[in-house]
Structure formats: C-alpha cells, structure tokens
C-alpha cells in the first residue's frame, strides 16, 4: 500500500529539512471510516521538519485538518478543527526491543530514550512514513461526545413529550375484538370478592390433563 506521507531518509541530515504535505480529504475520510467523525471535505496540511541523527529521525510538525461530526444532542453537524503539534522519534525497527524478548542487548549503550519524550515509531531505516503519526493524532482528537455548543438544548420537543397520549391512538380494528374480550373477563371476575387476593380463582384455568 502506498503511503501518504513519506520522506526518503537519504534526504535528511542533522540540520533538518522541512516538508509540506497536503492531507487529502479523501485520505482523511478513509482513516476515519468507522468512527463518528469524517472529513469536512477540504484538504488539510502537514508541515513537518525532520532531522536525522545517526539513524534516528526526529519529526516535528504542525497538523491542520478539518473534520465534521454530528452533535450528540441535536445531530446538527459540528465542525472540528484539528490543529496540533505532532512530534515523533523514528527509530529503525531493528533497533527497537522486540516485544516479549530480552530486548536491548544488541543496542549500543548510548541508545536510550524515554517514551514520554516523544512518540517512538519504527521505520525501515530507509523511508520515514508519517501516516501512523497523522492517523493517531486525528483519532485522538475525536471527542466522545461532540456538541455544537456547550449548552446545546438537544432536539426540540414539546414540553409534555413528543408522543401522543396512548389513549388517543386509534385502535387497530383487528384489536377491537380483543378489547371486548378483556372487558368481558373483567365484568365476570369482579363480583367474586370472596377469593383470596393472591389466588385469582376466576382466571381461566389451564386445560386439565
Ligand atoms: Zn447540538
């Protein structure tokens, strides 16, 4: 699969290099498929500066992408602008400790980084691919409960509730017969006042064996 944002490592040196990418609306749409958010239809931008030290590449950039979501209360479209600084340290995959393995034994002693300094991402040592960085940044920015405004009143409804009172619904003619039967049963059971309340004897009994 072709990558959207890639920089050949051979272009980079310790002095750093700036790259400008268009974050295509179609790409954003694909990335956000299955989430509550999608592109606002306009292309965004990623301006990133990359510098290479030995084999590690530091990427530091500015991501600007417009998204749209539905308000969680009134379902109106909510515009959402992601405008974030992104930073990542790209380390050749062979240098990263293997998951579950002893790890780090082959790495030189001076090779050390703390994971909270920057996102550490693997690269093949040749081409730096920024797709995951951009994707993760966008996914992280999707709010759980998007609101068009903090005091959105929600979908407009009448004070007494949106539905008609049940009694005023027209009765399906097919059920009219059933209604009569229910009324009949009531009229026959009410006179039996001597039966115990927890043992309604008047209830139609099951067919005996
Ligand atoms: Zn709203």
pLDDT in tens, 122-178: 999 999 999 999 999 999 999 999 999 999 998 876 555 445 555 555 656 666 666
**Mean pLDDT score across all residues of the chain:** 80
89-93, 147-151, 204-208: segment of lowest average pLDDT: 204-208
Which one is predicted more confidently, 53 or 2?
53
Max mean pLDDT range (33-37, 98-102, 194-198): 33-37
What distance in angstroms lies between residue 107's CA and the mean position of ligand 1's atoms?
Answer: 53
123, β-bridge pairs: 92
What distance in angstroms lies between residue 143's CA and the mean position of ligand 1's atoms?
Answer: 14
Instruction: Check pLDDT > 70 for residue 80.
Output: yes
pTM (2 decimals)?
Answer: 0.65
Closest CA to 80 of 20, 16, 35: 35
What distance in angstroms lies between residue 157's CA and the mean position of ligand 1's atoms?
Answer: 14
* 28 touches 44 (CB < 8 A): yes
Q: Which pair of tokens denotes residue 69?
A: 């979501």
What distance in angstroms lies between residue 141's CA and the mean position of ligand 1's atoms?
Answer: 19
Which one is predicted more confidently, 104 or 176?
176
Closest CA to 28 of 73, 69, 89, 58: 69
| Residue that has been written with the tokens 């966008």 in this structure | 138
- The pLDDT-based confidence of 19 (bands split at 50, 70, 90) is very high
Which one is predicted more confidently, 67 or 112?
67
| Residue that has been written with the tokens 């920057």 in this structure | 118
DSSP string of the chain, one letter each residue:
---SSEEEGGG--TT-EEEEEEE-HHHHHHHTTTSS-EE-SS-EEEEEEEEEETTEEEEEEEEEEEEEEE-TTT--EEEEEEEEEEEEEEEEGGGSPPTTS--SSSS-TT----TTTSEEEEE-SSEEE-HHHHHHHHHHT--SS--SSTT---S---TT-SSPPGGGSPPPHHHHHHHHHHHHHHHHHTT--SS-TTS-TTSPPPPP-
Instruction: Check pLDDT > 70 for residue 116.
Output: no
pLDDT tens sequence across 175-205: 666 666 665 655 554 455 554 555 555 556 5
pLDDT at 147: 95
> Which residues have their alpha-adjacent CB atom under 5 A from ion ligand 1?
71, 73-74, 148, 152
- 172 contacts: CB under 8 Å, gap ≥ 6: none
User: How many CB atoms sit inside 10 A of residue 27's CB?
Assistant: 19
Average of per-residue pLDDT across 62-66: 98
Instruction: Check pLDDT > 80 for residue 105.
Output: no
What distance in angstroms lies between residue 65's CA and the mean position of ligand 1's atoms?
Answer: 22
């Amino acid at each position: 699969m072709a990558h959207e944002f890639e920089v050949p490592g051979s272009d980079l040196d310790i002095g750093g290099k700036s790259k400008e990418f268009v974050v295509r609306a179609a790409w954003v749409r694909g990335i956000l498929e299955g989430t509550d958010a999608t592109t606002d239809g306009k292309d965004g931008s990623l301006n990133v500066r990359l510098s290479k030290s030995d084999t590690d590449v530091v990427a530091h950039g500015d991501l600007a992408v417009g998204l749209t979501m539905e308000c969680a209360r009134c379902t109106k479209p909510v515009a959402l602008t992601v405008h974030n600084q992104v930073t990542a340290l790209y380390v050749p995959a062979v240098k990263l400790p293997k998951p579950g393995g002893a790890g780090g034994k082959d790495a030189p002693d001076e090779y050390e980084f703390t994971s909270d300094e920057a996102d550490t991402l693997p690269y093949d040592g040749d081409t730096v691919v920024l797709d995951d960085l951009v994707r993760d940044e966008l996914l992280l920015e999707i709010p759980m409960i998007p609101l068009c405004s903090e005091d959105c009143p929600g979908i407009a409804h009448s004070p007494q509730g949106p539905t008609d009172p049940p009694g005023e619904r027209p009765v399906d003619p097919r059920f009219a017969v059933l209604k009569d039967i229910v009324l009949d049963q009531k009229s026959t059971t009410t006179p039996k006042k001597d039966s115990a309340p927890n043992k309604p004897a008047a209830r139609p009994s099951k067919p005996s064996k």
